[in-house]
A = this chain, B = another copy of it.
Amino acid sequence: MTVDTTIPATMRAVVMNKPGDVTVETIEVPRVVKPTDVVLKLAAACVCGSDLWPYRGLQPVDHQFMGHEYVGTVVEKGEEVSTLELGDFVIGSFMLSDNTCEICEAGYQSRCANAGRYTGSQAEYMRVELADGSLVKVPGGEPSDPDKLADYLAASDVLGTGWYAAVAAHAGPGKTIAVVGDGAVGLCAVLAAKALGAERVIAFSRHESRAALAREFGADVIIAKRGDEGAAKVKELTNGYGAHGVCEAVGTQESMDQALASVRPGGYVGFVGVSHDQTIDGGDLFFREVHLEGGPAPVRRFLPDLIRRIQADEIEPGKVFTQRIPLDDAAQAYQAMDERREIKVLLEV
């Protein structure tokens, strides 16, 4: 095992003590445990919309150390890690994968049969299992441009997740794609649908700043109505047929109902909002006759392409970060996102 001796003994890390109570504590730096592990020195972190569910008391606080989006530099590696070197700047996903099982080979690394674990990424360092199968090296190393760094951080989750929604919704030339949800993932789904060649992208939003970013990301139409009224608007815009594909990026009953009501028969719904108390009526689904695909996004599938597009300045997903706050002030980042004052907050490590 190669050990980089510049790793300190302790670090600062975000801890969720109970709903609404987030602090930053000094804890031990994680180190390589398994021969396929690496330890990353993180370059930036952020708060995810899914962190707000336990923060709001809507699901149990089942893990203390927070964060699952990350970019950073390899500072320690296990002896079996063969594709990464110390000093490599990498992006990983919120799901770790061996990238060799049949599920991974089919492009569903988020459901890898041998999934690994990581420590929280709202911290200065993190341990990542299955490094070879999970992490993708960014050519050229850590960017000096903070906007580029934000782009890469976005690729780790919100961009990869929005991209999956757009791929599952079969976004492409000639298609009208609607996006339910104007959070960071929904906005990235807008960006993805347009980047994948969709002819027309419809975003649902009632917040001017979010609608403005949706437009900047390529939305052709903004619909301020929700539910059946919103879906009726989509039908009006598509000769009564409905959208060819819909991205569902919220995870509530209302958002799923709106997505299903907005898509045409034979169309595609990609759902990536973490599902909370949703039920789908089988008869309704049967007679709608649509394709439904969703779940935790297999971000690893898309990372090489996303890195290439970021390096080519084709996409600027980092714009979802509307505020930057030092890691030590993470509590403020949770508050800002909880109150929807910011779309997404970047934590400077």
| A residues at B contact (CB < 8 Å) | 102-103, 106-108, 110-111, 113, 239-241, 251, 253, 256, 264-266, 271, 274-283, 285-296, 298
Contact = CB atoms under 8 A, between A and B. Distances in A.
A292 B286 contact: no
B291 A291 contact: yes
Across the A-B interface, the 6 shortest Cβ-Cβ residue pairs: A278-B282, A289-B295, A111-B265, A108-B266, A275-B282, A275-B286
A266 B111 contact: yes
Nearest to A108: B266
A296 B107 CA distance: 29
Contacts of A288: 295
Contacts of A110: 289
Contact of A291 (B102, B256, B287, B292): B292
Contact of A279 (B106, B279, B298): B279
Given A111-B265, A265-B111, A102 B286 contact: no
B289 A285 contact: no
A287 to B, nearest CB: 6
Main secondary structure of the interface of A (DSSP, over half): mixed
Contact of A289 (B253, B265, B294): B294
21 contacts: A102-B241, A103-B266, A107-B266, A108-B265, A108-B289, A110-B289, A113-B240, A253-B282, A276-B283, A278-B281, A278-B282, A279-B282, A285-B292, A285-B294, A286-B294, A286-B295, A287-B296, A288-B295, A289-B295, A291-B292, A292-B292
A227 B228 CA distance: 36
A301 B286 CA distance: 18
Contacts of A106: 266
A340 to B, nearest CB: 23
A120 to B, nearest CB: 21
A103 B264 contact: yes
A227 to B, nearest CB: 17
A157 to B, nearest CB: 16
A110 B293 CA distance: 21
Contacts of A239: 102
Contacts of A280: 279-282, 285
A174 B271 CA distance: 28
A295 B102 CA distance: 29
Contacts of A293: 290-292
A294 B265 CA distance: 10
A286 B271 contact: yes
A65 B287 CA distance: 22
Residue among A110, A265, A291 with max Cβ neighbours from chain B (10 Å): A265
Nearest to A238: B102
A242 to B, nearest CB: 9
B283 A278 contact: yes
A263 to B, nearest CB: 11
A344 to B, nearest CB: 22
Nearest to A283: B275
